[in-house]
Amino acid sequence: GFLPFQGHVVRNWKVRWFVLLQDKLLYYKIEGGKKEPSPKGRILLDGCTITCPCLEYENRPLLIKLKTKTNTDYFLECCSREERDSWALDITGAIHAGHPVQVQELHRMKNSFKLLENISLHDIVERMYDSSTGIKLTRNLDQGNRYKETFTGSALVDWLISNSFAVSRFEAVTLASMLMDENFIRPVGVRSTEAMRSSDPSEKFLDDSTALYMFAESSKKNTSSKEEVHFNIAELSGKIVKQGFLVKQGHKRKNWKVRKFVLRAEPAFLHYYDPTKEENKPVGGFSLRGCLVSALEDNGVPAGVKGNVQGNLFKIITKNDIHYYIQASSKAERVQWIEAIKPLT
């Protein structure tokens, strides 16, 4: 699949098509909407160490770090926590494929849980407050209200694992629930507050990028009403329904670029981002109300499409008659996107 990664020679970010084999990761360039036949490079997995979650880049919370046995670092970025964890699991399996004892030890560690000796919840909270290595506090939007100095459930889980307070996400969720029970942190916003009322202790804390939390000692939420929220902020506040990397044809130059697409509901918008840029701002997007979405035949090049494209194309026509041509990585992925978009039009 598509993953942005940082080059180890020129330290810029680029998007490549990655293929995981038993002993290596191959990556390919996409030119004119089509994957080049020969790989641009490879990452040998023998002797590699993997770090996931990797929190070395504040603006890129969904990173996987690979360090080869020659001490070359590669940073790969995913679209969602689920995608990141899936890639990390498969890469870890490939790294340890020839070492069954290590695989058994990994499974044993992930399936066991106990609070680390000599570590108290107070110690964890003190580390969370640290200005340089603690959890990053951000402004977040929920149901049209803006909250200051918050963090998401999945961000806290990532932080607990990366700071070795937990081995697995289950362990980290258990720790986070203990922090909430002891009133060190508290839920804010609709999703996390509703989960807090759950009768099942394992569901009170949400390992989710849309569930918001804050330190219990923080001042009461500083929110603004929906009427005061700028329209551009409002359209980005909808619930994320689907996200992933797709190839999009430009409107002017008609060239094909990999973009990260984020599909939101209430309000229904489709935004796309340049994954090579540091700032997490859309480079384009449109309302889905009144849109038409349909698959394009793979035999031949449809009218309006330029280049010898790979296939798996679909088209979105907005109510203003703007045509967007988008390419998925497979027929199954194309169907998934169309089915996710249609109910929102």
Same domain, 331 and 259: yes
Look up tokens 């209200």; give the residue.
145
Phi-psi region of 176 (alpha: psi -120 to 50; beta: other; left: phi over 0): alpha
Same domain, 195 and 135: yes
Same domain, 238 and 334: yes
Give me the percent of the chain exceeding a pLDDT of 70. 85
Instruction: Mark which of 81, 110, 139 sits at the end of a domain.
Output: 110
Instruction: Mark which of 72, 88, 110 sits at the end of a domain.
Output: 110
Mean pLDDT of 205-227: 69
Residue 269 lies in a domain: yes
Confidence class for position 242, pLDDT limits 50, 70, 90: very high
Q: Hey, how many other C-beta atoms are within 10 angstroms of the C-beta on 329? A: 17
Non-local CB neighbours of 196 within 8 Å, separated by 6+ positions: 180, 187, 204
153-162 vs 169-181: helix axis angle to the nearest 10?
A: 110
Same domain, 206 and 242: no
Same domain, 28 and 52: yes
What is the total count of domains within the chain? 3
Residue 116 lies in a domain: no
Mean pLDDT of 204-212: 88
Instruction: Mark which of 75, 110, 145 sits at the end of a domain.
Output: 110
Same domain, 271 and 297: yes
Residue 259 lies in a domain: yes
Residue 280 pLDDT: 76
Closest by Cα among 93, 44, 89 to 71: 44
Distance CA(262)–CA(163), nearest Å, equals 29
Same domain, 277 and 256: yes
Confidence class for position 344, pLDDT limits 50, 70, 90: very high
Same domain, 152 and 237: no
Same domain, 106 and 125: no
Same domain, 237 and 337: yes
Residue 176 lies in a domain: yes
- Compare 182 and 55 and report the one with higher pLDDT: 55
- Residue 145 belongs to a domain with what CATH number? 1.10.10.10
Domain containing residue 320: 233-342
Residue 174 pLDDT: 86
Same domain, 216 and 245: no
- pLDDT tens by residue, 3-27: 999 877 777 899 999 999 988 999 9
Non-local CB neighbours of 322 within 8 Å, separated by 6+ positions: 251, 286
Non-local CB neighbours of 65 within 8 Å, separated by 6+ positions: 50, 51, 52, 54, 56, 73, 74, 75, 76
- Residue 295 belongs to a domain with what CATH number? 2.30.29.30
Mean pLDDT of 331-336: 94
Residue 227 lies in a domain: no
Distance CA(196)–CA(24), nearest Å, equals 43
